[in-house]
Structure 1
Amino acid sequence: MQSNFMINHGKLTNQLLQAVAKQTRSGNTQQWFKQEQITYISRTVNRAIDDYCMSNNSVIGKETKSHIFKAVESAIKQPLDMNCAQTSIGHFLQSNKYFNKKVDEQCGKGVDPITRFNTQTRMIEQVSQEIFEQKFGGLKVSDIKALTQSTIAQHVQDTRL
Protein backbone atom coordinates (compact mmCIF):
# COMPACT_ATOMS: atom_id res chain seq x y z
CA MET A 1 0.00 0.00 0.00
CA GLN A 2 1.51 3.29 -1.06
CA SER A 3 0.09 6.46 0.42
CA ASN A 4 -1.33 9.08 -1.92
CA PHE A 5 0.59 11.99 -0.41
CA MET A 6 4.23 13.00 -0.80
CA ILE A 7 6.18 11.86 2.22
CA ASN A 8 9.73 10.62 2.58
CA HIS A 9 9.32 7.21 4.23
CA GLY A 10 13.07 6.66 4.36
CA LYS A 11 13.52 9.89 6.33
CA LEU A 12 10.75 8.94 8.77
CA THR A 13 12.05 5.40 9.16
CA ASN A 14 15.58 6.66 9.86
CA GLN A 15 14.29 9.17 12.42
CA LEU A 16 12.23 6.42 14.07
CA LEU A 17 15.18 4.04 14.27
CA GLN A 18 17.42 6.80 15.65
CA ALA A 19 14.83 7.59 18.33
CA VAL A 20 14.54 3.90 19.23
CA ALA A 21 18.34 3.52 19.40
CA LYS A 22 18.55 6.50 21.78
CA GLN A 23 15.91 5.01 24.07
CA THR A 24 17.30 1.47 24.16
CA ARG A 25 20.38 0.47 26.08
CA SER A 26 23.52 0.63 23.93
CA GLY A 27 21.44 1.15 20.79
CA ASN A 28 20.23 -2.47 20.79
CA THR A 29 16.99 -2.28 18.86
CA GLN A 30 16.29 -6.02 18.52
CA GLN A 31 14.09 -6.17 21.61
CA TRP A 32 12.17 -3.10 20.45
CA PHE A 33 11.55 -4.69 17.03
CA LYS A 34 10.33 -7.88 18.70
CA GLN A 35 7.94 -6.01 21.02
CA GLU A 36 6.74 -3.62 18.31
CA GLN A 37 5.89 -6.55 16.04
CA ILE A 38 3.77 -8.10 18.82
CA THR A 39 2.14 -4.74 19.53
CA TYR A 40 1.46 -3.81 15.90
CA ILE A 41 -0.07 -7.17 14.99
CA SER A 42 -2.08 -7.25 18.23
CA ARG A 43 -3.43 -3.77 17.55
CA THR A 44 -4.36 -4.87 14.02
CA VAL A 45 -6.27 -7.87 15.41
CA ASN A 46 -7.99 -5.66 18.00
CA ARG A 47 -8.98 -3.18 15.30
CA ALA A 48 -10.42 -5.97 13.12
CA ILE A 49 -12.47 -7.19 16.10
CA ASP A 50 -13.66 -3.63 16.82
CA ASP A 51 -14.59 -3.13 13.15
CA TYR A 52 -16.56 -6.38 13.19
CA CYS A 53 -18.43 -5.35 16.33
CA MET A 54 -19.24 -1.89 14.96
CA SER A 55 -20.43 -3.13 11.58
CA ASN A 56 -22.53 -5.91 13.13
CA ASN A 57 -23.76 -3.92 16.14
CA SER A 58 -22.45 -6.69 18.36
CA VAL A 59 -20.15 -7.41 21.27
CA ILE A 60 -17.38 -10.00 21.46
CA GLY A 61 -16.72 -11.16 25.00
CA LYS A 62 -13.29 -11.49 26.57
CA GLU A 63 -13.27 -15.29 26.33
CA THR A 64 -14.15 -15.30 22.62
CA LYS A 65 -11.64 -12.52 22.00
CA SER A 66 -9.00 -14.63 23.72
CA HIS A 67 -9.85 -17.60 21.45
CA ILE A 68 -9.56 -15.35 18.39
CA PHE A 69 -6.15 -14.09 19.52
CA LYS A 70 -4.91 -17.64 20.22
CA ALA A 71 -6.06 -18.82 16.79
CA VAL A 72 -4.32 -15.92 15.04
CA GLU A 73 -1.17 -16.49 17.15
CA SER A 74 -1.15 -20.12 16.12
CA ALA A 75 -1.66 -19.32 12.44
CA ILE A 76 1.14 -16.74 12.23
CA LYS A 77 3.41 -18.39 14.82
CA GLN A 78 3.84 -15.10 16.65
CA PRO A 79 2.92 -14.27 20.25
CA LEU A 80 0.28 -11.56 20.62
CA ASP A 81 -1.09 -9.41 23.44
CA MET A 82 -4.81 -8.67 23.36
CA ASN A 83 -4.28 -5.57 25.53
CA CYS A 84 -2.18 -3.73 22.92
CA ALA A 85 -3.75 -0.66 21.35
CA GLN A 86 -1.04 1.96 20.64
CA THR A 87 2.10 1.18 18.65
CA SER A 88 5.43 2.93 19.10
CA ILE A 89 5.44 3.73 15.39
CA GLY A 90 2.09 5.53 15.68
CA HIS A 91 3.18 7.33 18.83
CA PHE A 92 6.41 8.44 17.13
CA LEU A 93 4.53 9.75 14.09
CA GLN A 94 2.10 11.74 16.25
CA SER A 95 4.95 13.78 17.68
CA ASN A 96 7.29 13.93 14.67
CA LYS A 97 7.79 17.48 13.31
CA TYR A 98 8.39 16.37 9.71
CA PHE A 99 5.32 14.14 9.71
CA ASN A 100 3.10 16.83 11.24
CA LYS A 101 4.34 19.34 8.65
CA LYS A 102 3.15 16.86 5.99
CA VAL A 103 -0.21 16.53 7.76
CA ASP A 104 -0.55 20.33 7.68
CA GLU A 105 0.35 20.39 3.98
CA GLN A 106 -2.27 17.72 3.29
CA CYS A 107 -4.95 19.63 5.22
CA GLY A 108 -4.26 23.10 3.89
CA LYS A 109 -4.51 26.37 5.79
CA GLY A 110 -7.39 27.14 8.12
CA VAL A 111 -8.63 23.58 8.49
CA ASP A 112 -10.75 22.84 11.54
CA PRO A 113 -9.17 20.74 14.34
CA ILE A 114 -11.46 17.73 13.79
CA THR A 115 -10.58 17.50 10.10
CA ARG A 116 -6.88 17.83 10.93
CA PHE A 117 -7.15 15.12 13.60
CA ASN A 118 -8.96 12.77 11.19
CA THR A 119 -6.39 13.46 8.46
CA GLN A 120 -3.51 12.87 10.89
CA THR A 121 -5.11 9.61 12.07
CA ARG A 122 -5.54 8.36 8.48
CA MET A 123 -1.97 9.34 7.56
CA ILE A 124 -0.56 7.68 10.70
CA GLU A 125 -2.40 4.50 9.75
CA GLN A 126 -1.06 4.54 6.19
CA VAL A 127 2.53 5.48 7.01
CA SER A 128 2.85 3.15 10.01
CA GLN A 129 1.51 0.29 7.89
CA GLU A 130 4.10 1.01 5.19
CA ILE A 131 6.92 1.16 7.76
CA PHE A 132 5.70 -2.05 9.44
CA GLU A 133 5.44 -3.96 6.17
CA GLN A 134 8.90 -2.80 5.03
CA LYS A 135 10.81 -3.31 8.29
CA PHE A 136 9.10 -6.15 10.19
CA GLY A 137 9.63 -9.38 8.33
CA GLY A 138 7.27 -8.99 5.41
CA LEU A 139 3.94 -9.59 7.14
CA LYS A 140 1.16 -7.78 5.29
CA VAL A 141 -1.41 -5.94 7.39
CA SER A 142 -4.13 -6.90 4.90
CA ASP A 143 -3.27 -10.59 5.45
CA ILE A 144 -3.47 -10.17 9.24
CA LYS A 145 -6.87 -8.46 8.89
CA ALA A 146 -8.17 -11.18 6.55
CA LEU A 147 -6.94 -13.92 8.90
CA THR A 148 -8.59 -12.19 11.85
CA GLN A 149 -11.88 -11.76 9.97
CA SER A 150 -11.85 -15.45 9.03
CA THR A 151 -11.08 -16.41 12.64
CA ILE A 152 -13.91 -14.20 13.90
CA ALA A 153 -16.30 -15.96 11.53
CA GLN A 154 -15.20 -19.32 12.98
CA HIS A 155 -15.49 -18.28 16.64
CA VAL A 156 -18.40 -15.88 16.86
CA GLN A 157 -22.03 -16.83 17.04
CA ASP A 158 -24.62 -14.23 16.10
CA THR A 159 -24.06 -11.71 18.89
CA ARG A 160 -26.07 -8.80 17.54
CA LEU A 161 -27.70 -6.63 20.15
Structure 2
Amino acid sequence: MTAGLVAGRFHLRRLLGSGGTASVFEADDVHTGGTVALKLLHAHLAHGPEAVDAFFEEVRAAQAIVHPNLAQIYDAGVDSRDPPVVWIAMELVPGVSLADHVRERGALDLADAVVLGRTVLDALTAVHASGVVHRDVSPANIMFDPSERASVTSPEAFARGIRLLDKV
Protein backbone atom coordinates (compact mmCIF):
# COMPACT_ATOMS: atom_id res chain seq x y z
CA MET A 1 0.00 0.00 0.00
CA THR A 2 1.30 3.41 -0.89
CA ALA A 3 0.22 6.71 0.63
CA GLY A 4 -2.73 5.05 2.34
CA LEU A 5 -3.92 3.47 -0.89
CA VAL A 6 -4.21 -0.21 -1.78
CA ALA A 7 -2.34 -0.76 -5.06
CA GLY A 8 -1.84 3.01 -5.30
CA ARG A 9 -5.47 3.20 -6.28
CA PHE A 10 -8.05 2.34 -3.59
CA HIS A 11 -8.78 4.40 -0.50
CA LEU A 12 -10.52 2.21 2.09
CA ARG A 13 -13.63 3.69 3.71
CA ARG A 14 -15.21 1.06 5.93
CA LEU A 15 -15.27 -2.67 6.50
CA LEU A 16 -18.36 -4.29 4.95
CA GLY A 17 -17.67 -7.83 6.08
CA SER A 18 -15.08 -10.49 6.69
CA GLY A 19 -15.03 -14.22 6.11
CA GLY A 20 -12.70 -17.18 6.04
CA THR A 21 -10.73 -16.08 2.98
CA ALA A 22 -11.06 -12.31 2.73
CA SER A 23 -12.30 -9.00 4.08
CA VAL A 24 -14.43 -6.66 1.97
CA PHE A 25 -14.25 -2.90 2.26
CA GLU A 26 -16.13 -0.02 0.70
CA ALA A 27 -13.40 1.87 -1.15
CA ASP A 28 -12.94 4.87 -3.41
CA ASP A 29 -11.19 4.11 -6.70
CA VAL A 30 -9.02 7.18 -7.31
CA HIS A 31 -8.44 6.13 -10.94
CA THR A 32 -12.12 6.06 -11.93
CA GLY A 33 -13.65 8.28 -9.25
CA GLY A 34 -16.12 5.52 -8.41
CA THR A 35 -16.86 3.56 -5.28
CA VAL A 36 -16.27 -0.18 -5.21
CA ALA A 37 -16.39 -3.16 -2.91
CA LEU A 38 -12.73 -4.09 -2.48
CA LYS A 39 -12.09 -7.68 -1.45
CA LEU A 40 -8.71 -8.23 0.20
CA LEU A 41 -7.52 -11.81 0.46
CA HIS A 42 -6.32 -12.62 3.99
CA ALA A 43 -2.52 -12.34 4.11
CA HIS A 44 -1.94 -15.95 5.16
CA LEU A 45 -3.62 -17.09 1.92
CA ALA A 46 -1.56 -14.82 -0.33
CA HIS A 47 1.77 -16.61 0.12
CA GLY A 48 3.32 -18.48 -2.74
CA PRO A 49 2.88 -18.01 -6.46
CA GLU A 50 0.81 -21.19 -6.81
CA ALA A 51 -1.90 -19.94 -4.44
CA VAL A 52 -2.02 -16.50 -6.06
CA ASP A 53 -2.06 -17.98 -9.59
CA ALA A 54 -4.94 -20.30 -8.66
CA PHE A 55 -6.82 -17.39 -7.13
CA PHE A 56 -6.44 -15.27 -10.28
CA GLU A 57 -7.49 -18.19 -12.49
CA GLU A 58 -10.77 -18.21 -10.55
CA VAL A 59 -11.05 -14.43 -10.87
CA ARG A 60 -10.61 -14.60 -14.67
CA ALA A 61 -13.28 -17.30 -14.94
CA ALA A 62 -15.67 -15.28 -12.78
CA GLN A 63 -15.06 -12.08 -14.78
CA ALA A 64 -16.27 -13.86 -17.91
CA ILE A 65 -19.71 -14.50 -16.39
CA VAL A 66 -22.19 -11.80 -17.28
CA HIS A 67 -25.59 -11.86 -15.61
CA PRO A 68 -27.72 -8.97 -14.31
CA ASN A 69 -28.05 -10.56 -10.87
CA LEU A 70 -24.35 -11.18 -10.28
CA ALA A 71 -22.12 -8.51 -8.79
CA GLN A 72 -19.62 -7.45 -11.45
CA ILE A 73 -15.88 -7.86 -11.01
CA TYR A 74 -14.08 -4.78 -12.34
CA ASP A 75 -10.42 -5.55 -11.76
CA ALA A 76 -8.00 -7.58 -9.65
CA GLY A 77 -4.34 -7.49 -8.78
CA VAL A 78 -1.56 -7.77 -6.26
CA ASP A 79 -0.12 -4.88 -4.29
CA SER A 80 3.51 -6.02 -4.08
CA ARG A 81 4.62 -5.63 -0.50
CA ASP A 82 5.50 -8.01 2.27
CA PRO A 83 3.12 -9.69 2.70
CA PRO A 84 1.47 -9.05 -0.67
CA VAL A 85 -2.06 -7.66 -0.73
CA VAL A 86 -4.22 -9.58 -3.21
CA TRP A 87 -7.34 -7.61 -4.15
CA ILE A 88 -10.49 -7.72 -6.28
CA ALA A 89 -12.50 -4.58 -7.09
CA MET A 90 -16.19 -5.38 -7.49
CA GLU A 91 -19.52 -3.67 -7.91
CA LEU A 92 -20.67 -2.11 -4.65
CA VAL A 93 -24.23 -3.38 -4.41
CA PRO A 94 -26.76 -1.14 -2.65
CA GLY A 95 -29.19 -2.55 -0.14
CA VAL A 96 -28.93 -5.15 2.59
CA SER A 97 -27.94 -8.77 2.75
CA LEU A 98 -30.66 -11.35 3.20
CA ALA A 99 -28.93 -12.35 6.47
CA ASP A 100 -29.14 -8.80 7.86
CA HIS A 101 -32.72 -8.37 6.69
CA VAL A 102 -33.88 -11.58 8.38
CA ARG A 103 -31.98 -10.75 11.57
CA GLU A 104 -33.38 -7.20 11.75
CA ARG A 105 -36.88 -7.56 10.26
CA GLY A 106 -37.70 -11.24 10.13
CA ALA A 107 -38.47 -13.50 7.21
CA LEU A 108 -39.50 -12.26 3.78
CA ASP A 109 -43.13 -12.73 2.88
CA LEU A 110 -43.87 -15.66 0.57
CA ALA A 111 -44.11 -13.63 -2.66
CA ASP A 112 -40.77 -11.90 -1.99
CA ALA A 113 -39.10 -15.18 -1.02
CA VAL A 114 -40.24 -16.83 -4.27
CA VAL A 115 -38.91 -13.93 -6.39
CA LEU A 116 -35.63 -13.90 -4.48
CA GLY A 117 -35.21 -17.67 -4.74
CA ARG A 118 -35.94 -17.78 -8.48
CA THR A 119 -33.60 -14.86 -9.14
CA VAL A 120 -30.71 -16.36 -7.16
CA LEU A 121 -31.20 -19.74 -8.86
CA ASP A 122 -31.12 -18.05 -12.27
CA ALA A 123 -27.86 -16.29 -11.37
CA LEU A 124 -26.42 -19.52 -9.98
CA THR A 125 -27.35 -21.32 -13.20
CA ALA A 126 -25.24 -18.79 -15.14
CA VAL A 127 -22.31 -19.31 -12.76
CA HIS A 128 -22.41 -23.08 -13.03
CA ALA A 129 -22.98 -23.03 -16.81
CA SER A 130 -19.66 -21.22 -17.15
CA GLY A 131 -17.85 -23.98 -15.27
CA VAL A 132 -17.42 -22.03 -12.02
CA VAL A 133 -18.67 -23.54 -8.77
CA HIS A 134 -20.04 -20.95 -6.35
CA ARG A 135 -18.86 -22.22 -3.01
CA ASP A 136 -20.69 -19.89 -0.66
CA VAL A 137 -24.36 -19.45 -1.50
CA SER A 138 -25.60 -18.06 1.79
CA PRO A 139 -27.91 -15.31 3.08
CA ALA A 140 -24.82 -13.14 3.68
CA ASN A 141 -24.01 -13.31 -0.07
CA ILE A 142 -27.45 -12.32 -1.33
CA MET A 143 -28.08 -8.57 -1.50
CA PHE A 144 -31.29 -6.76 -2.34
CA ASP A 145 -32.81 -3.32 -2.15
CA PRO A 146 -35.62 -3.40 0.42
CA SER A 147 -37.30 -0.42 -1.28
CA GLU A 148 -37.91 -2.59 -4.36
CA ARG A 149 -39.60 -5.48 -2.57
CA ALA A 150 -42.24 -7.25 -4.66
CA SER A 151 -44.99 -6.42 -2.23
CA VAL A 152 -44.27 -2.70 -2.64
CA THR A 153 -43.74 -2.35 -6.39
CA SER A 154 -43.47 -5.28 -8.78
CA PRO A 155 -41.72 -8.64 -8.80
CA GLU A 156 -39.65 -7.52 -11.79
CA ALA A 157 -38.41 -4.38 -10.02
CA PHE A 158 -37.51 -6.42 -6.94
CA ALA A 159 -35.67 -9.03 -9.04
CA ARG A 160 -33.59 -6.34 -10.82
CA GLY A 161 -32.14 -5.26 -7.46
CA ILE A 162 -31.10 -8.73 -6.28
CA ARG A 163 -27.41 -9.67 -6.54
CA LEU A 164 -25.62 -12.90 -5.75
CA LEU A 165 -22.16 -11.99 -4.43
CA ASP A 166 -18.86 -13.73 -4.02
CA LYS A 167 -18.66 -15.99 -7.05
CA VAL A 168 -14.90 -16.13 -6.47
- Tell whether the structures are fold-level matches, with TM greater than 0.5: no
TM-score (norm 1): 0.27
Structure with a larger share of its residues in helix: 1
Higher RCO (C-alpha 8 Å, min separation 6): 1
